[in-house]
Amino acid sequence: MNERLKILPERLLPWFAAHARPLPWRKDRDPYRVWVSEIMLQQTRVEAVKNYYDRFLLALPDVLALANAPEEKLMKLWEGLGYYSRARNLQKAAKQVAQAGGAFPDTREGLLALPGVGEYTAGAVASICFDRPCAAVDGNVLRVLSRFLADPTPIDSPACKRQAREALETVYPRGRCGDFTQALMELGATVCLPNGAPDCGVCPLAKDCLAHRRGAQRDYPKKGAKKARRAEERTVFLLRCGDALAMEKRPEKGLLAGLWQLPNLPGRLTPQEAVDTAEQWGLCPAALTAELHKTHIFTHMEWNMTGYEIRCAREGGGFFWATKTDRREGYALPTAFRQFLFPEEREEREK
């Protein structure tokens, strides 16, 4: 493998210099900014991250600001990005860096000691910010290598990622480590695309790519068999009293731990059962005004949700009744529940 990879830097570095996208986190190599972007980009599309990133950096411009931010402010800034444990680990790591004097570790080993930082993020920050020959191997990079080498190893196996990282690090160009890391990422994100659709006509590696030579680009990468997602039915309550909306905190452990949610129950209740439940909560339901059906997909599970909007004559039920101001300025709702809000409410929350 290593011999064939030796040509990667000489092909990719000039291509990257000419074709790199002007992404906001590429404006400088400040480790705080790069680290925040890499955490946000985990499991999330670039276009979705851009606005969040700019807003986050405006509110929390450095590691000390993040370390000292109130949790509600942090969750509000993260609202809609999903995988909320990323935000909590981000703040834990910021506190650790702040306690150590505010300077980020400049080695992969030091970065791996931070909460929420794995091999990929450590490699990205170490190479981009500190010019360490540390590979950042994600799905984009694995796809490029799989096609370039016509490698049948399933890319979702841990061994494949480890082998790719070790092989790449033998060809890292000293003094250009960050550019090489980003060039590999960029090629996979913009040219060597997933789902059998690489744009080989503009690829700087095409003439040496074994899959391209064989006309087998669409046969790579290989993946292992996927486990089926578990599906759950849930009933969601949009309980309104005047302009207030009932909300509650989720348990501190488990899925969406510690976040705010709309009241909900397992299973699918009928409209009458939903009204009866609101009555049992002591809310004096006056009218059921809407029935909504939504689906939210998590990594290993999906929720098939039936939502009932119920106008109530009184607050209660042990819920927090959030006013419009509350909902606009704090109390972040995960996407699974935010999709039940009126369009104008969603727009206000996403500004």
Nearest to 145 by CA among 26, 329, 8: 8
Please indicate, yes or no, whether residues 34 and 83 belong to a single structural domain of this protein.
yes
Please indicate, yes or no, whether residues 181 and 317 belong to a single structural domain of this protein.
no
For 179, phi and psi rounded to 5 degrees? -65, -40
Residue with tokens 């578990």: 230
Residue 320 within any structural domain of the chain: yes
Please indicate, yes or no, whether residues 16 and 123 belong to a single structural domain of this protein.
yes
pLDDT computed for residue 327 by the predictor: 77
In which residue ranges of the chain is pLDDT below 70?
1, 342-351
Q: Domain end: 189, 220, 250, which one? A: 189
Residue 305 within any structural domain of the chain: yes
Instruction: Enter the pTM of the model.
Output: 0.78
Determine the structural domain holding residue 87 and report its residue range: 2-136+168-189
Please indicate, yes or no, whether residues 267 and 331 belong to a single structural domain of this protein.
yes
Nearest to 218 by CA among 150, 137, 142: 150
Domain tally for the chain?
2
Residue 292 within any structural domain of the chain: yes
Rounded distance between C-alpha atoms, residue 175 and residue 184, angstroms: 16
Contact 250, 258 (CB under 8 A): yes
Residue 145 within any structural domain of the chain: no
Nearest to 118 by CA among 99, 142, 134, 97: 134
Residue 154 within any structural domain of the chain: no
pLDDT computed for residue 1 by the predictor: 58
Please indicate, yes or no, whether residues 128 and 50 belong to a single structural domain of this protein.
yes
Please indicate, yes or no, whether residues 234 and 329 belong to a single structural domain of this protein.
yes
CATH number of the domain encompassing residue 253 = 3.90.79.10
pLDDT computed for residue 320 by the predictor: 93
Residue 70 within any structural domain of the chain: yes
- Tell me the H-state helices in 60-216: 63-67, 71-78, 85-99, 108-112, 119-130, 139-149, 158-169, 177-190, 210-213
CATH number of the domain encompassing residue 130 = 1.10.340.30
Please indicate, yes or no, whether residues 48 and 181 belong to a single structural domain of this protein.
yes
pLDDT computed for residue 223 by the predictor: 85
Residue 76 within any structural domain of the chain: yes
Please indicate, yes or no, whether residues 175 and 256 belong to a single structural domain of this protein.
no
Residue 152 within any structural domain of the chain: no
Nearest to 247 by CA among 147, 152, 324, 182: 324
pLDDT computed for residue 349 by the predictor: 47
Rounded distance between C-alpha atoms, residue 293 and residue 248, angstroms: 21
The residues annotated with a catalytic role in the active site are 38
Please indicate, yes or no, whether residues 337 and 251 belong to a single structural domain of this protein.
yes
Please indicate, yes or no, whether residues 38 and 177 belong to a single structural domain of this protein.
yes
Please indicate, yes or no, whether residues 244 and 130 belong to a single structural domain of this protein.
no
Please indicate, yes or no, whether residues 323 and 248 belong to a single structural domain of this protein.
yes
